[in-house]
A = this chain, B = another copy of it.
Amino acid sequence: MYNERMYQLGSKRSSIREIFEYAKKRSAEIGAENVFDFSIGNPSVPAPNAVNEAICRIVRETDPVVLHGYTSAQGDKGVRDKIAANYTKRFGVELSGDDLYMTCGAAASLTITFSALANAGDEFIVFAPYFPEYKVFVETSGAKLIVLPSNESNMQPDFNALERAMNPNVKGLLINSPNNPSGAVYGVETMQKLAEVLARKSAEYGKPIYLISDEPYRELVYDKETVVPCPMAYYKNTIVCYSYSKSLSTPGERIGYVAVNPQAENARAVYAAVCGAGRALGYVCAPTLFQRMAAECDGMTSDLSVYKRNRDLLYKGLTDCGFTCIYPDGAFYLFLKAAEPDAAAFCERAKKYELLLVNGADFGYKGWVRIAYCVQTERIEKALPLFKKLAEEYGL
């Protein structure tokens, strides 16, 4: 009567959603001020003023018939040219508007990219921990997601596992740096090593293996010395999937892009396949008003000082308690090693202190938990004594 896969995807609640519902129920029982919900990765800092100013100015100043009209399927040419020029200026990589395809956000960028590339039997590799919707998007394209481990000490790729997993069916490697949920950033050394493996294996198999870089957290880094390397500068067969959701705090407006490196093999054909996948999946064009807003606000960020303050406070507080944490160079998540082997049991014990965490197993990584620190700083200040009690319970 209907499609069973779609029914399952639409009726099963994600575990993060379960926690969200629990938080609501618990708040009603004991008051929201006593519940510490660190489950949701939703920007807690408003969009920069420039976003709202741009929206109202565009509405006021654009020819009224053009204002809300269709753009070309790949996005308004002026918008693409401006964003591409800014990309070149920021990252030192040649990119033109004709290499950019504007999308309805990161999920669209990824689904379109996988569908553009994949044929039946293809594989995409990702390192755990990883955002679980990747599996959904890859499977929509008919391909299979292969999950490899990261090193526990720093959440960088396990290169031995990568070597072992490589085979002629691998169509691409998906990376996400800064990472959800670990907060880890892939530095220059990691990028170089990844590029070396991909180039070597591409040559061995006689076909390009694509690097798909999901970068919604690209601008969310907090230390001067932390640089997020531009993957196109390291590996030619790179496709960047970007979204303005986190940098501009506009996740509901669904605006982002796919950038196909013009140096990629058959770059124009890959770009055409991206356009075709957008068409096949029902994306006519990205919302016109938000395309224009993005062109004006590209490169800006919402006030990151809140996230930085939260990150510093939380990391210091938790390590002082004796917890093992990955130092979060970016994004707004902290990855913490559960104080017992079973992270689900650890989350349950944290719940007794009204601390709501997400099991790392939901991100394909056992024994760890994710703490989303995109919250009011006051919540972290109040939560730390409770984390202290939790640590004491484990004798840390």
Contact = CB atoms under 8 A, between A and B. Distances in A.
Nearest to A103: B282
B269 A2 contact: yes
Nearest to A117: B2
B7 A276 contact: yes
Interface stretch (A23-31, A59-67, A146-154, A331-339): A59-67
Given A269-B1, A279-B10, A285 B47 contact: no
Instruction: Point out which of A208, A249, A252, A272 has the most chain B C-beta atoms below 10 A from its C-beta.
Output: A252
A44 to B, nearest CB: 6
Interface in A41-71: 42-47, 51-52, 55-56, 59, 64-65, 67-71
Contact of A10 (B1, B65, B249, B273): B273
Q: By DSSP majority rule, is chain A's interface helix, strand, loop, or mixed?
A: helix
A259 interface: no
A396 B375 CA distance: 74
Contact of A1 (B11, B45, B107, B265): B265
25 contacts: A1-B117, A1-B269, A2-B273, A3-B117, A6-B115, A9-B277, A10-B275, A10-B278, A11-B272, A44-B65, A55-B56, A56-B56, A65-B249, A68-B249, A104-B104, A107-B282, A111-B280, A136-B279, A136-B280, A252-B285, A252-B289, A254-B284, A254-B286, A254-B287, A281-B281
Interface of A: 1-11, 42-47, 51-52, 55-56, 59, 64-65, 67-71, 104-105, 107-112, 115-119, 133, 136-137, 139-141, 207-208, 248-254, 265-266, 269-290
